[in-house]
Amino acid sequence: MKEVTAQELKAMMDNKEDFQLIDVREEFEYEMANIGGELIPLSAILHNEDKISRTKKVVIHCKAGGRSGTAIMQLESKFGFNNLYNLKGGILSYAKEIDPTLNVI
């Protein structure tokens, strides 16, 4: 599975790269803290595959990397995606390395 680190994601954001960021956590988690991704909870990801780009890099994240890894495996096996990247360590890693003000529990 392809991954990006929190530092790499931050650089992509700062450089205004053309990519899609998807958050597969639950709505209550997203409301507490998010990094601007589109919310598509893991339980709904397979029903929303049409919202996921096939033409640019897509970074998928959750709290620590498990749910996003599951989402990527499901999307790759069921729909043949090959442009998906897991945020290594999830939003916890992003909060620790980039933005300690994020209220992540």
pLDDT of residue 22: 98
C-alpha 102/C-alpha 100 separation (Å) is: 5
pLDDT of residue 62: 98
User: Which sequence spans correspond to the domains of the chain?
Assistant: 3-97
CA angle (39 as vertex; 33, 43 as ends), nearest 5:
115
Cβ–Cβ < 8 Å for 88, 99: no
Q: Consecutive sets of 10 residues in the chain, 105 residues long: mean pLDDT of each?
A: 98 98 97 96 97 98 98 98 98 97 88
pLDDT of residue 105: 74
**Taking the complete model, does pTM exceed 0.75, yes or no?**
yes
pLDDT tens digit string along 40-52?
999 999 999 999 9
CB atoms inside a 10 Å sphere around CB 18:
10
pLDDT of residue 101: 94
CB atoms inside a 10 Å sphere around CB 55:
8
Specify the CATH class of 3-97 in words. alpha beta
